[in-house]
Amino acid sequence: MKILLTGATGYIGKRLLPILVAQGHEIVCCVRDKNRFYIPKEFEKNIAVIEIDFLKAETLSAIPEDIDAAYYLMHSMSTSSDNFDDLESISATNFVQRLNHTNAKQVIYLSGIVNDKSLSKHLSSRKKVEDILNTGKFAATTLRAGIIVGSGSASFEIIRDLVNKLPVMITPKWLNTRCQPIAIPDVLEFLSKSLLNPLTYNQNFDIGGPDILTYKQMLLGYAKAKHLKRWIFTIPVMTPKLSSYWLYFVTSTSYKLASALVSSMKVEVICRDHRINEILNVKPMTYEQALSRALVKVDEDKVASSWKDSLVSGRFSSNISEYLKVPKKDCFIDRRKMEIVDKDYTINKIWSIGGDSGWYYGDWLWGLRGFIDKLYGGVGSRRGRTNRHDIHSGDALDFWRVLYANKDEGKLILFAEMKLPGEAWLEFKIIGNTLYQSATFRPRGIWGKLYWYSVLPFHGFIFNGMLNKLIN
């Protein structure tokens, strides 16, 4: 079967793709930017990639007419736009209009549980998208999930950050709200088993695990799994704005995502029934089992995808392709080079930079810069990296975004997502037996120039030390 996969670069899409390939399907992946979509070599013959912007109807003509079904996995949970609900409606409308002219028999949409009369703006928007999809000529199947627990999921990362960092928590009252978490493997099983299954056509289903828990119980459940003692006290005086700042400063989440989560967490998300479990013969795992599985994946460095690699976790509002060519005109450039002793050693060090490995020299200064960025509403350095030794174009790496990563070439280009009065690139490339390291800054006005000269004294210390560590 030929399957259209939207959201192919997202948290769910990246994990669903290999499952569909393993089932023998031919997959057409919709992406906004091919340069940030990594395809494993063993999948290349089963995958076609098309560039589409669902807000621009004319680009949807790239969708082939002979598709059999499609997955609609696009959400704007942490978008920087205040009118995200209008944008989501436009995207869904354009999608339906195009698919009405294809052979698609079914569209599967992953949404949120919306069985409460008082919905947050994000859940209301998802319900509106569902209604739009139901107007298509194809059969629509909506799977509504609550909190998704898995390595790299936003919910799991926030729980991990809070429990690991805070022995005692003074928390907002919404931590007593009940929800029904579901493990990411179960979400993927529901998605894959619903494909072209007539029993799921033109219906919506709530999917969840067997446990109904408060957010406080979920935090304490994680603490138990990690053998940590934690004390949590809830107070009624913490406003949604204060709650959002609390999440933002303690965890790796962005402020926009924190605000969206706080808004959604005030509403109970509990499954109406479990009929989909019987229809598809799925037995979801418990919250404890989901945590155990996620922790193993993290410990073994086998996190398949992370919410932090989404562009909306940083400052990007356009395709990374626009920044691939590092500029020279009107830029300040710090260039350094050094002869390589062991090429494999150096490449492996470059490919492990950031995250838990740090920046090899002057880590406290990198940490300070990340802290200052966080104070000013930036991404900070808490995003880390998804895998310890593997990076691809589009990945988040502390307060950088990977623009280009080619291990065979020995070339890595990073773009700064911290708040700056300008734009910054950090580039590593190996030519022959020499490692070239360049830091490029394109200032914006007088403040940009003042910024460059203010940090210039630290460059010799940081960049020269880092270059030495990459060699020896």
Fold classification of 2-308 (topology level): Rossmann fold (3.40.50)
pLDDT at residue 81 greater than cutoff 70: no
Share of residues in the chain with pLDDT > 70 (%): 93
pLDDT at residue 82 greater than cutoff 70: no
Question: In terms of pLDDT, which residue wins out, 84 or 439?
Answer: 439
**Where do the CATH 3.40.50.720 domains begin and end in the chain?**
2-308
β-pairing, 422-431 vs 434-443, is antiparallel
Residue-wise pLDDT tens digits, 304-313: 888 777 765 5
- What is the arrangement of strands in the sheet containing 332-339, beginning at the earlier edge strand? 332-339, 434-443, 422-431, 411-416, 400-406, 396-397
**Where do the CATH 3.30.530.20 domains begin and end in the chain?**
314-471
pLDDT at residue 79 greater than cutoff 50: no
Instruction: Report the pLDDT value the prediction gives residue 115, as an integer from 0 to 100.
Output: 67
pLDDT at residue 302 greater than cutoff 80: yes
Share of residues in the chain with pLDDT > 90 (%): 53
Residue-wise pLDDT tens digits, 120-153: 666 777 888 889 999 999 999 999 998 899 998 8
Backbone angles phi, psi at 333, to 5 degrees: -130, 130
Instruction: Report the pLDDT value the prediction gives residue 120, as an integer from 0 to 100.
Output: 63
Instruction: Report the pLDDT value the prediction gives residue 144, as an integer from 0 to 100.
Output: 93
As given in the structure block, the two tokens for residue 115 are: 């069985």
Question: In terms of pLDDT, which residue wins out, 106 or 321?
Answer: 106
CATH number assigned to the domain with residue range 314-471, chosen from the 4 options 3.40.50.300, 3.40.50.2300, 3.30.530.20, 1.10.1750.10: 3.30.530.20
CA angle 2, 108, 110 (to 5 degrees): 135
Q: What is the C-alpha to C-alpha distance for residues 308 and 8, in angstroms, rounded to an integer?
A: 15
Residue-wise pLDDT tens digits, 180-222: 999 999 999 999 999 999 999 999 999 999 999 999 999 999 9
Q: pLDDT averaged over the chain?
A: 87
> Count of residues for the chain?
472
DSSP 3-state of 64: coil
